[in-house]
């Protein structure tokens, strides 16, 4: 088999940047990407046959680890029943029920094919329901690559330092109002200036796309109150947090009720999927029960439904608290290992996610995030990769831990980190 380097050279001639999603290129950490031949549990194996402990987890979907036996077996069964019908299949009903049971504030759900599709459809719906156009989003939050959201859109864009967003007409982002994460006053000011024009606030209820930034106490509650007061819809983008922060997502963990929720990643168990959910009064306005048009040739795809159902059924029985305590302890051990080598780092962690901010502070927003050293992160990334450990190839991302990560994996990762010197 050709090596990663050879494949990357080939790919670069025929695929823009050699990759099908920008951050995979590893440019910001000064490396070439590794081409993966297979994955199992907590590990991925490259085309060279080298095995790595994986903290990328396909950017979030693989909370059970790769090739979980129940997910694989559900997929094998599904393949033999046909891969797409263009007509409803029973598992669409099963997955819808599983999602709505986990998020009792949501009453109806529509399946789509990616997180991007989910957020862009949710925004269309919010605009239709409120008959308003403006949207508030937070700096550093990422909601997929639809035009309206490509203003200060977190890691992918930040990592590559793309100035603005060529190809997006000014008029499209003109309705996107920005605020700093955790800054309720800024949100309030937008509403006071545009009391009857704001359709929705979209927020990552725990930000994961600028590195891990937690919602400050009262922030999400404050957004809820402002939306209610001004008649705007609150959209929780739970594409990362759904089924990861808790089985019921951030809305369960933080006990705040959004009007609409967008999902993706985990609910497809590693297959391309997205969904948006919400109150019946809003969701029933989607075609064909209402006039808000949204469709998809492969939406509710039988393979994606099978993988999603199997994943959620295993997660339902999984011990989220145990994983969270293990990750917390690991982060403390990691901080101590850095300290022993004279390296200062603030590690922010929540549930099964963490971000290392070298020489950084506990971040409240995107400008705090940017105080951390990307240079040290790049060196650390390269060091760990040499040691057989794959972290996110960007300082502005979260490390994802799965239920498949073992004591030995944590120990090996810690030992490798303790050999890092600057």
- Give just the sign of the alpha carbon dihedral 323, 358, 162, 205: positive
Q: What residues contact 70, with CB distance under 8 A and at least 6 apart?
A: 310, 313, 314
**What is the side-by-side strand order in the sheet with 134-138?**
108-112, 274-278, 260-264, 233-237, 198-203, 134-138, 176-179
CB of 20 or CB of 284, closer to ligand PLP: 20
Is 142 designated active site? Answer: yes
Residue 218 zone, left/alpha/beta (φ > 0; ψ -120 to 50; rest): left
**What is the side-by-side strand order in the sheet with 389-390?**
36-40, 43-46, 51-54, 389-390
Is 54 designated active site? Answer: no
| Interface residue list for ligand PLP (CB under 6 A) | 114-116, 119, 142-144, 204, 208-209, 237, 239-240, 264, 274
Shortest distance, position 154 Cβ to ligand PLP, whole Å: 8
CA dihedral 294, 300, 301, 305 (to 10 degrees): 150
Gap between the Cα atoms of 171 and 133, Å rounded:
11
Is 237 designated active site? Answer: yes
The 3 state secondary structure assigned to 403-422 is CCCCHHHHHHHHHHHHCCCC
Gap between the Cα atoms of 139 and 154, Å rounded:
7
> Do the Cβ atoms of 115 and 343 come closer than 8 Å?
no
CB of 35 or CB of 142, closer to ligand PLP: 142
CB of 26 or CB of 235, closer to ligand PLP: 235
The residue annotated as part of the active site, out of 134, 265, 377, 409, is 265
Gap between the Cα atoms of 347 and 354, Å rounded:
7
Shortest distance, position 396 Cβ to ligand PLP, whole Å: 12
Residue closest to ligand PLP, measured at CB: 115
Gap between the Cα atoms of 281 and 198, Å rounded:
19
CB of 18 or CB of 205, closer to ligand PLP: 205
CB of 179 or CB of 334, closer to ligand PLP: 179
Tokens of 297: 């040739």
Gap between the Cα atoms of 47 and 38, Å rounded:
8
CB of 301 or CB of 373, closer to ligand PLP: 301
The residue annotated as part of the active site, out of 237, 246, 259, 409, is 237
The residue annotated as part of the active site, out of 52, 54, 134, 142, is 142
Q: Can you point out the beta strands (E) in 82-232?
A: 108-112, 134-138, 176-179, 198-203
CB of 91 or CB of 209, closer to ligand PLP: 209
CB atoms near residue 221 (< 10 Å): 14
CB of 145 or CB of 405, closer to ligand PLP: 145
Shortest distance, position 117 Cβ to ligand PLP, whole Å: 7
Gap between the Cα atoms of 97 and 414, Å rounded:
40
> Do the Cβ atoms of 132 and 279 come closer than 8 Å?
no
List residues with catalytic annotation: 142, 237, 265
């Amino acid at each position: 088999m050709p090596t990663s380097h050879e494949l990357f050279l080939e790919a670069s001639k025929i695929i823009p940047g050699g990759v099908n999603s920008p951050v995979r290129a590893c440019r910001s950490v000064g490396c070439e990407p590794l081409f993966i031949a297979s994955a199992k549990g907590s590990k991925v194996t490259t085309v060279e046959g080298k095995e790595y402990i994986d903290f990328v987890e396909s950017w979030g979907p693989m909370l059970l680890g790769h090739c979980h036996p129940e997910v694989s077996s559900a997929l094998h069964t599904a393949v033999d029943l046909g891969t797409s019908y263009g007509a409803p299949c029973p598992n669409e009903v099963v997955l819808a029920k599983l999602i709505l049971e986990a998020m009792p504030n949501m009453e109806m759900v529509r399946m789509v094919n990616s997180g991007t599709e989910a957020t862009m459809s949710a925004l269309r719906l919010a605009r239709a329901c409120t008959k308003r156009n403006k949207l508030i989003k937070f700096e550093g939050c990422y909601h997929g690559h639809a035009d309206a959201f490509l203003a200060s859109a977190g890691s992918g864009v930040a990592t590559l330092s793309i100035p603005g967003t060529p190809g997006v007409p000014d008029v499209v982002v003109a309705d996107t109002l920005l605020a700093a994460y955790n800054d309720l006053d800024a949100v309030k000011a937008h509403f006071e200036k545009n009391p009857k024009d704001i359709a929705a606030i979209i927020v990552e209820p725990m930000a994961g796309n600028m590195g891990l930034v937690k919602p400050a106490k009262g922030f999400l509650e404050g957004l809820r109150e402002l939306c209610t007061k001004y008649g705007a819809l609150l959209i929780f983008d739970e594409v990362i947090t759904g089924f990861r922060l808790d089985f019921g997502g951030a809305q369960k963990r933080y006990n705040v009720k959004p009007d609409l929720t967008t999902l993706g990643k985990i609910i497809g168990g590693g297959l391309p999927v997205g969904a948006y959910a919400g109150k019946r009064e809003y969701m029933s306005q989607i075609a064909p029960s209402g006039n808000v048009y949204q469709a998809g040739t492969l939406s509710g795809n039988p393979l994606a439904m099978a993988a999603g159902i199997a994943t959620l059924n295993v997660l339902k029985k999984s011990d989220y608290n145990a994983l969270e305590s293990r990750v917390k302890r690991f982060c403390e051990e990691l901080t101590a290992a850095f300290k022993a080598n004279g390296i200062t780092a603030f590690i922010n962690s929540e549930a099964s996610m963490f971000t290392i901010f070298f020489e950084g502070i506990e971040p409240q927003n995107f400008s705090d995030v940017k105080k951390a050293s990307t240079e040290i992160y790049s060196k650390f990334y390269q060091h760990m990769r040499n040691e057989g450990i794959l972290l996110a190839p960007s300082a502005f991302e979260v490390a994802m831990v799965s239920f498949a990560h073992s004591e030995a994996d944590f120990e090996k990762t810690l030992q490798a980190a303790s050999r890092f010197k600057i």
